[in-house]
Amino acid sequence: MESKRQQKFAGVIQKDLAEIFQREGMSFLPNTLVTITRVRVTPDLAIARVFLSFFNNQNSSLALNTIKAHSSEIRYKLGSRIKNQVRIIPHLEFFVDDTNEYVERMDKIFDKISKEPRQPDTEE
């Protein structure tokens, strides 16, 4: 369970990272829309786990590796935005948020189940 402080700090990081990716994300990943779906912060606020979703991109693992390669630059830009609000700039860890893929897979399974003929209920 995250504290209110962690949630507030995560919200600040998510908002500022979203602006960074919106303005300067094209230099990292051209023709790809990067969405920050969730940010989780450790209790000491030293590590921020950032979950990303990529649109208009076929290979999300390659896109994630590209983001990880630029993580120090992204952290620097984040630091210049939030330096007056925090004592330390958190270390950023990036992950792919595969929630949409999971939901699509589950929808296909449910559609398949609903199309199968139902077995009549037999009572003895």
At residue 101, the pLDDT reads: 72
CATH 3.30.300.20 fits 4-115, yes or no: yes
Amino acid of residue 11: G
At residue 80, the pLDDT reads: 93
At residue 121, the pLDDT reads: 65
- Residue ranges of domains in the chain: 4-115
The pTM assigned to this predicted structure is 0.78
* Tokens describing residue 42: 């450790």
DSSP characters over 22-34: HHHHHHHSTT-EE
Per residue in 48-84, pLDDT tens?
999 998 888 888 888 899 999 999 999 999 999 998 9
Q: How confident is the model at residue 93 (pLDDT cuts 50, 70, 90)?
A: very high
- Return all residues near 19 (Cβ < 8 A) that are at least 6 apart: 81
At residue 55, the pLDDT reads: 84
User: How many residues can be counted in the chain?
Assistant: 124
